[in-house]
Chains A and B, each alone.
Chain A
Amino acid sequence: MDNQVVIQIDDLTKIYRVGVLRRSVEAVKGLDLNVFAGEVFAFLGQNGAGKTTTIKLLLGHARPTSGCTSLFGIDSRKPQSRYKVGYLPDLPHFYNFLSSLELLDYAGRLFGINKSYRIDRSRKLIKQVGLEGRENDPLRGFSRGMLQRIGLAQALINDPELLIIDEPLVGLDPAGRAELRHIILNLKERGKTIFFSSHILDDAQRIADRVGIINKGKLDSVGTLNELLTTKSGWDIRLAPIANRDILRQIANLETTIFHDSNSCSIKVENERDFKTILGWASQGLIHLKSIEDRRLSLEDVFLQELSKSTE
């Protein structure tokens, strides 16, 4: 991965004033984040965590209360920062009287793309997103999934170096999701940077290089999947069936989960103290160990752990 910083977010805060009494709501709090060229970055969080607000601040759709954002080193409030950017919003809305080709033509013209290239690229993109044959159909007749596809096409019209997608897989059927994952991975192979927000952890785990978890406006953790999932959450121990009732009683007093029958016994150990106790029994010959495996957290575990930390 290139070390060029494509997205830079420095101490970003956004406070909204809502209601008659202008109550302040901190949607984003002191967010610091860098996204590097060529990576797929998944920005994860619950609904209302601040993912979409962060994206809006990145694209200049909202103004930050404090802090700054930049794209390719250019202040993201300046239109020049978006020349190499493609954007697909959550639940995209387009002028529904336009056809697919007209929408892509409009998008291409906003980038100053010349006519012949625009037409050629529009047709290729329509084919790529699986809407061949629908070029001249008005968008008002499109389903949500079809709008998501044409939305992706308009985001790719300028062959962007950075693709920002808000909840990319919402509204797509399983085939559509597989296709979009394939498109994203294809873009990555071509050296593009993809920044997407999601609350579907499985998809993030499949395609992301790095993950950031945002919760109540704060970035709780950032890292590669290896870094985030490296934390041990315990051990899985398999042993021979235990005949010693005293040992069985002692195991029941530990913070473990035990599965025991006449053929096998497995214990899920949560903490190091209990793990050492069990190892001690094994060294005294009181139990017979067959295998020990480190249990690592899944992305969902990490996600839920971060959420629970913030409520403590």
Chain B
Amino acid sequence: MLHMLGFAVAMLILAWVVSIWSLGEQGKIITDLGLTITVLIGVIIALFAGIVLVWNEVEHHTILTTLAKPIARWEFVVGKYLGFSTAVIAVYYGMSLFLIVFLTFFNIMPTWELVWAIYLSSWEILIIAAVAIMFSAFASPSYSAMFSISLFIIGRFSWDIRVFIENNPKTIMRPVLEIVYTIIPHLSYFNKRYAATHAIEINWEQIFFPTLYGIVYCGLVLIIAVMAFKNRDLA
């Protein structure tokens, strides 16, 4: 994770280099690129570390002595998620703090929009971490990676799926698209980078409802993870 943190810092410096050619929009470029880079790195960590989290414990048999103690399987899965997500979020907020400090060197003071955009993007990471751990509970790392990355990409385009459904109400694919739209994580809810970059107000509803959605979605994914892991033979 320290390597990823260093990589993020390097990327932010690169964002600054790119912004030099931005014709006066340096602050916006660094803010936009910085937010994008920190979220992407957070998602990458959550994804690639999360997909092996439970799988490795089962494969290497370290789980046997743990679950021989009075620990329920759901406690193990939820505990793994809480510990792992705390670590990933700590790295993400560390990178975000660096971004904020970095911006002050260009006389760009942090705004509430930037703070809320950082906060909301952290839910993207928490959701992807939950999804990765869910797949890790029953699938091999390669399948977990495939499914998790797919869900992340589709989730990023959830708003576009919604728009397509509404603009094509009679499409025969509608029922399938409705199901897909319901199941996928609506990651576009958490994307307030445009608002942060252009100092557009983010009201309390745009903070509260995505947070609630994030909590519910992570909870449901963890329930699925626990159910999948509950009856699995461990060795």
Contact = CB atoms under 8 A, between A and B. Distances in A.
17 contacts: A16-B233, A56-B235, A62-B234, A62-B235, A63-B233, A79-B69, A79-B75, A80-B70, A82-B70, A83-B70, A91-B61, A94-B62, A94-B65, A110-B66, A110-B71, A111-B69, A154-B65
B70 A107 contact: no
Interface in B212-235: 231, 233-235
Most buried by A among B69, B75, B233: B69
B72 interface: yes
A151 B235 CA distance: 18
A280 interface: no
Contacts, number: 59
A60 B235 CA distance: 11
Given A110-B69, A110-B71, A93 B64 contact: yes
B69 to A, nearest CB: 4
B14 interface: no
Interface in A90-138: 91-95, 107, 110-111
Contact of B72 (A79, A87, A92, A95): A79
Contact of A61 (B60, B62, B72, B234): B234
Contact of B70 (A62, A79, A89, A93): A79
B68 interface: yes
Most buried by A among B62, B67, B70, B72: B70
Interface of B: 60-62, 64-72, 75, 231, 233-235
Contacts of A187: none
A85 interface: yes
B62 A95 contact: yes
Interface string A40-60: 000000000000000010011
Contacts of B234: 56, 61-62
A99 B187 CA distance: 41
A260 B220 CA distance: 83
B83 to A, nearest CB: 12
B68 to A, nearest CB: 4
A141 to B, nearest CB: 17
Given A56-B234, A56-B235, A94-B62, A61 B67 contact: yes
B67 A59 contact: yes
A291 to B, nearest CB: 53
A198 B25 CA distance: 73
Given A63-B233, A83-B70, A107 B64 contact: no
Most buried by A among B60, B65, B70: B65
Contacts of B75: 79
Contacts of B69: 79, 82, 107, 110-111
Nearest to A59: B68
Interface in A72-91: 79-83, 85, 87, 89, 91
Most buried by B among A56, A61, A83, A92: A61
A161 B74 CA distance: 26
B140 to A, nearest CB: 16
A114 to B, nearest CB: 16
A83 B234 CA distance: 20
Contacts of B65: 87, 89, 92-94, 107, 151, 154
A79 B76 CA distance: 12
A151 B71 CA distance: 18
